[in-house]
Structure 1
Amino acid sequence: MPLLILVIQGLILIGLLLKRYVEKKNASDGILVILLLITCYEQTCYTVGFMGWYDTFRATKINYFLISVGTAIAPLIFFYVKSITESNFKFRKKYWWHFTIPILLVVYRLTIFTYDALQPGFNETQNGVLKIAVDETEIAQAIFKILDFSVMLLYLAFTLQLFINYRQKIKQYFSNVFKLELNWIRNFLIVFSLLFLYSSIQTLVGDLFMELDYKERWGLNLAMGICTIYVGLKGYFTDTTKLNKLDFSFSPRHISIPENTKEVKKEIPEVAIEAIAALMQREKPYLNPDLNLSELAKQANVTRGQLSEIINSGFQMNFNDFVNSYRVNAFKSMLKAGKHEQLSLLGIAYECGFNSKATFNRVFKKLTSFSPTQYLQSLAG
């Protein structure tokens, strides 16, 4: 019953995501629909099994269509994250090769099913001649498990790297990245990583220590059902389309910045560094919580590429740390001026350009090695 309820809820969420995909054509919604459909399909197969269908109707041919879904889910996880983190993502024809293994598995099973269906007595049995002789052997089952494990491990590693690179990239572009740090994607990856770990441990126990039938594997299916609902809900209510539209490409550098690409470390003119520092002191653009690289570049009358290089090489910081260092210094100045007697620490942080408590606490601790409260106490002492 729990699995049946979770599957029905999952199908409802798939319907909502599909409706939005048809209306808005968001690639991430379409990929998530397919991913959830596959997980719900597998859950349905097990749900029907727990209802006693296969025991009652022994000629059911479901075994032909219980395919290792991990080989399909793994690349879908990767492309879901890619569809959100890549500007104006579109699923291209060349991406289909990532699904070569699951497609071959489907063709393989259909071939076996077709052959067995042509044999006499097929309608009276659950598994036909070729299914038993080829597909049900220990060697075949071991190959399927190794494929499932290897593909999932490989794509989870690729996806994690993609996510880490994206987080580093937005720090070069945005001054406040709390809303853009893709906490949803982080949780999305954690969910599937934990399911992968659970499944791997269960398979290891079943192969080396004790035989586990489908009833003893119920826990994994329950976890998958719960995760399907979580992913469906969060995927539907989390707006990630604005991330897909971000443009991180930089304009060509002007001659004022050296263009010797063979140098590992760029020599930035001192006048360029001083000009940016003077702008930050004079105009205080860091007080704008939504400040990004493009806006600051316009104020400094340089390209995004130039400004990024000045900050990275001239100040030895990424854009995020550079801007936040001014905000932290402004916060310190306000504390020394007694501003905390009128406003809370968080209120002062907002006046200095921070846009969330979490970002403020993390940044302040990173740049000063103190929490805001500890720093205030040190001033009093």
Structure 2
Amino acid sequence: MFPDFNRWSLPLLILVIQGLVFVVLLFSRYFKKKHLSDLFLGLILLLTCYAQICYTLGFLGWYNEFRTTKINYFLINIGVALAPLIFLYIKSITTSNFRFKTSYWWHFALAFVIIMYRFSIYTYDALQPGFNDTQNGILKIELDEAYIQSILSYIETPFMLLYLAFTFQLFYSYRKKIIQYFSNTYKLELNWILSFLILFSLSFLYGTIQDIIGSRFMDLGYQQRWWLNLFMAIITLYVGIKGYFTDTTKLNKLDFTFTPKTIGIPEDTNDFEEKSISNNDIDTVKYLMETDKAYLNPELNLSDLAQLAKMTRGQLSETINSGFNKNFNDFVNEYRVNAFKSMLKEDKHKQLSLLGIAQECGFNSKATFNRVFKKLTNYSPTEYLKSQLN
């Protein structure tokens, strides 16, 4: 009987429906605001929801009720499209002024070939006598299931691994880059994206092991494969929620137009004679930090400090990296940590919480403050305070 709501079908159905709700929300926002990250994420969710349909319908009793269903023709290996989409999604939110280039379509060449192949065998089988009386036609059975599916399974695994490697490389490159530009990076670190990539990689590993066991050691039925689909459905919902409610569009405005440790392109378009590091540059930066206390601005970034110093971002970055032997993030936060220590000596902790003092010193999040303080002092803030009181 269809639909059969049971302990196998109901969780998948609920998660898939919720995932599709976020697909609609993301697509709607894309058509209103034209943010490519919304389009990519919406497509990622749509494909992962699509992949769950086969199992959801199976547990709902679709195949028992509709013996001649042709749905198998359209259950396509989504990995060859999903992996490039994840890569482009990460690229779209970590690259300043991201635009979709025509060359990016080549990422989906294999997916388009598979789709055309599936429609071709469906068209051929549909023209054969008796097609309406059976579930799978002659090419689906004797070509697709006999040979092509096995071949695709060998192609899909290295394809996914390659794109996952590229995606992790892209993400960690972005992480390394932001510490050269921003003093408070916690809100820019996209920790939920890293969680998503790790979860997706684990699900891919789980699926690969499951396929190996199912093809070489024992036959795995729907119920044994249910857990992977539940895991993927949960990941889909998690990504949908985080992706929709997290504003990643501000990252698209980040301007990474020079390579740190080199003199870069000036902020304005006027020609500019590049200058090497001088003691005067170092003294200027010291004055801004020690006298003007520029570090007290929690939103201080490389561009802000460069404007105050009347330098280009490239010159300032080179001055900090070579003159102080630090990246921008460590350079600014060391001043903030020293200011925090000074306030503790003045017994400010009797009037404010440790977090309150940290905010007075220019930190804008507890996570950043705790991590930076531990890195620079080898103590947590609380441990440091106790050591000073003893």
TM-score band, normalised by shorter chain: over 0.9
Is 1:77 paired with 2:77? Answer: no
1:306-345 paired onto structure 2 within 5 Å: 306-345=315-354
Given the alignment, which residue of 176, 179, 194 partners 1:186?
194
Given the alignment, which residue of 226, 247, 250 partners 1:218?
226
Given the alignment, which residue of 257, 266, 272 partners 2:275?
257
Distance (Å, rounded) in 2 between the aligned partners of 1:73 and 1:99: 9
Given the alignment, which residue of 7, 13, 19 partners 1:4?
13
1:84-99 paired onto structure 2 within 5 Å: 84-99=93-108
Distance (Å, rounded) in 2 between the aligned partners of 1:339 and 1:216: 60
Helix, strand or coil for the counterpart of 2:105? Answer: helix
The aligned residue for residue 29 of structure 1 is 38
The aligned residue for residue 154 of structure 2 is 146
The offset of 1:257, in angstroms, is: 2.8
1:122-201 paired onto structure 2 within 5 Å: 122-137=131-146, 139-201=147-209
Distance (Å, rounded) in 1 between the aligned partners of 2:38 and 2:134: 40
The offset of 1:338, in angstroms, is: 2.1
The aligned residue for residue 289 of structure 1 is 298
Q: Does structure 2 conserve the Cα–Cα contact (< 8 Å) formed by 1:289 and 1:355?
A: yes
Helix, strand or coil for the counterpart of 1:71? Answer: helix
The aligned residue for residue 202 of structure 1 is 210
Distance (Å, rounded) in 2 between the aligned partners of 1:32 and 1:279: 42
Residue 156 of structure 1 aligns with an amino acid whose one-letter code is L
The aligned residue for residue 279 of structure 1 is 288
Q: Does structure 2 conserve the Cα–Cα contact (< 8 Å) formed by 1:184 and 1:238?
A: no
Distance (Å, rounded) in 2 between the aligned partners of 1:145 and 1:128: 21
Given the alignment, which residue of 377, 380, 386 partners 1:371?
380
Q: Matched residues, percent identical?
A: 64
Distance (Å, rounded) in 1 between the aligned partners of 2:221 and 2:155: 21
Given the alignment, which residue of 72, 77, 83 partners 1:68?
77
- Runs of 4+ with deviation above 6 angstroms: none
State the aligned residue count. Answer: 371
The aligned residue for residue 262 of structure 1 is none
Residue 94 of structure 1 aligns with an amino acid whose one-letter code is S
Moved more, 16-25 or 42-51: 42-51
TM superposition score normalised by structure 1: 0.93
Helix, strand or coil for the counterpart of 2:81? Answer: helix
Residue 68 of structure 1 aligns with an amino acid whose one-letter code is N
Distance (Å, rounded) in 2 between the aligned partners of 1:183 and 1:112: 43
The offset of 1:104, in angstroms, is: 0.7
Distance (Å, rounded) in 1 between the aligned partners of 2:367 and 2:299: 16
The offset of 1:349, in angstroms, is: 0.9
Distance (Å, rounded) in 2 between the aligned partners of 1:233 and 1:45: 23
Given the alignment, which residue of 236, 242, 265 partners 1:234?
242
Distance (Å, rounded) in 2 between the aligned partners of 1:62 and 1:149: 24
What stretches of structure 2 of length at least 5 have no aligned partner? 1-9, 259-263, 267-271
Residue 209 of structure 1 aligns with an amino acid whose one-letter code is F
The offset of 1:56, in angstroms, is: 2.8
Residue 205 of structure 1 aligns with an amino acid whose one-letter code is I
The aligned residue for residue 269 of structure 2 is none
TM superposition score normalised by structure 2: 0.91
Residue 128 of structure 2 aligns with an amino acid whose one-letter code is Q
Helix, strand or coil for the counterpart of 1:175? Answer: coil
What stretches of structure 1 of length at least 5 have no aligned partner? 259-267
